[in-house]
Amino acid sequence: MTRTEMKLRSIPREMFDETKRLEEILSVIRKHNIVKNGLTPENLRHILEDLGPTFIKIGQIMSSRGDFLPKEYCKELELLRADVKPLDIEIIKKEIESELGKPINELFKSIDEKSLGSASIAQVHAAVLPDGRRVVIKVQRPYVADMMMKDFALLTKAAKMAKISPINQTIDFNMLVEELKEVSINELDFRIEAETTLEFARNMEGINYVTCPVIEEDYTTQRVLTMGYIDGFSIGNIEKLDSEGYDRKEVATKLVNNFLKQVLDDGLFHADPHQGNLEILNGKIVWLDWGMVGRFGKKEQNILKTAITAVVQKDVNLMKNAVLSLGKPQKEINHPELFNDIDDMMDRYCSMSLEDLNMGELLNDVVELAAAHGISLPRGFSMLVRALVTIEGVVTSLNVDVNMAELFSGKVMQDLLNEFDLKQEMIGDAKAVYDSAKKSLTIPSLSADMMKSVIKGQTKINIEPVGFDSLMRRVEILVGDMILCIIMASVIISSAMICTTNMQPQVLGIPALGFAGFVGAFGMGVFLIITIHKRRK
């Protein structure tokens, strides 16, 4: 058991008897009569809302898993309401005092009795610190953590029973429940959200048009999160944007570019970037609520860049490799069928211009295609798809001509150019040529040893001297080619060594002498290739 789980279980367990909870769940399912009405997307959403915090959170997470659920179910689950009746302010104050270890009047100069928001897991209030700074306090509801642990205990048992189901061959229910449990537990620990917010702030250092709330670490614990109050307005408030003189196209472009930086550079991105989590304050875009985030490692970033490059270059094989590299097959892959499906998908998108290409739809089709072939994609990718669709919705609401596909592909191409190191590529190629030439030098010595053995009578060879002159001519040509290769390799190595210095003058950022050496070696290589080609004719 993890430390987090031990802390979550510290709340009185007798309040939530497992059998009683199971009866409650079955009662809700009977109430919606899924046997008669069927489990429609809307019916599923209502069931999850009635089941409480655990299942609402599961539904919110699953709304981004197009590889597990059909598209219509994902869209419906995005509508899940987590709003509940606010708890009395005195209960909230007791929770704060219990977590922070001091009387409320010592902690805060004042605290608003009316909540700013009340969800199934936490409640938010505005307050003022003793030094006069305005803050918001996010307080976890009592006993929510224990109820969620009980629910996941039941779900774990259900997942074990599902092993006998044929569906388990394509969906690993144990893995799915463990993933949902891990994500939910992390969201219950507000210190993780605080650290994520701080990480985002570090990633944005030097970018003057983006910010996030300041975390008050002395007022933050596992169940209480305190951060600076943001007195801005929603990014979707067009009237406010226009009245304050903002260029909506500039705002949209900066929003998309910053999101792409989060995904492709930082590997940490906001997974729920709707208008309520994006505000404008003093010319800056403020990213709020870092409770739901996605993470991309270098591997995932490179694969995503490969997928975008495949679309731009209309390369089906490249896209197939990207899908297989990104996902984990749950069954044997039918490669010809996968290739054909990717080919069909690429035909649809490659016939479009970048202006007409919808990135969210493209990546969502990749998710559905992977699911159809039993390829389980990492959660971060599914979250990215949902986030992209949400961002595109925000951009569309601003009513401006900003195309995400163009910005996305432009960012990928620029990154690929930045990652290309001319000097290192030349040095690497030179070493490869040198190694090949060095190995080829052993051929004459081996031939000489063989001839010595023949001369000494140690080897008997029956020779029919037919075409001997032609053979000698070919040997002479081979030796000549080898000598040219050795000279070419020497020139390349010398030029590469010169390129590591700051010798002047320079051409394209490298010493002119080294550049001239590469040009000369290139010329020799072209000459050699042409000569060999002519001989073959």
How many domains does the chain fold into?
3
Residue 48 domain flag: yes
Whether 389 and 438 share a structural domain: no
Residue 316 domain flag: yes
Choosing from 395, 420, 445, the residue where a domain stops is: 420
Residue 221 domain flag: no
Residue 29 domain flag: yes
Quick: pLDDT tens for 195-211: 999 999 999 999 999 99
Whether 450 and 350 share a structural domain: no
Whether 268 and 282 share a structural domain: yes
Give me the count of residues in the chain. Answer: 537
Whether 390 and 454 share a structural domain: no
Residue 483 domain flag: yes
Q: Which residues of 116-133 are buried (b: 16+ CB within 10 A; e: fewer)?
A: eebbbbbbbbebebeeee
**Per-residue model confidence (pLDDT) at position 262:** 95
Q: Which residue has the tokens 């302010």?
A: 89
* Cβ atoms of residues 372 and 286 within 8 Å: no
Quick: pLDDT tens for 364-383: 888 888 888 888 777 788 88
The amino acid at 310: A
Whether 427 and 409 share a structural domain: no
| Residues in CB range of 497: below 8 A, 6 or more apart | 514
| Residues in CB range of 175: below 8 A, 6 or more apart | none
Whether 326 and 277 share a structural domain: yes
Residue 226 domain flag: no
Residue 530 has pLDDT above 90, yes or no: no
296-306: average pLDDT: 87
Bigger pLDDT: 64 vs 87: 87
Residue 166 domain flag: yes
Whether 165 and 272 share a structural domain: no
Residue 450 domain flag: yes
Whether 449 and 393 share a structural domain: no
Whether 441 and 526 share a structural domain: yes
Residue 332 has pLDDT above 50, yes or no: yes
For residue 441, give its domain range.
Answer: 422-458+468-536
Q: How many angstroms separate the CA atoms of 262 and 385, rounded?
A: 14
Reduced to 3 states (helix: H, G, I; strand: E, B; else coil), residue 118 is strand
Residue 456 CA neighbour count, 13 Å, CB half: 7
Whether 387 and 490 share a structural domain: no
Helical segments of 267-378, H only = 298-313, 316-326, 335-350, 359-372
Closest Cα partner for 99 from 53, 149, 140? 140
- Computed over every residue of the chain, the mean pLDDT equals 80
Bigger pLDDT: 393 vs 203: 203
Burial of 336 (0-12, 13-18, 19+ CB in 10 A): exposed
Whether 345 and 432 share a structural domain: no
The region that residue 417 occupies, defined by phi over 0 for left and psi between -120 and 50 for alpha, beta otherwise, is alpha
Whether 387 and 431 share a structural domain: no
DSSP string, 506-526: EETTEEHHHHHHHHHHHHHHH
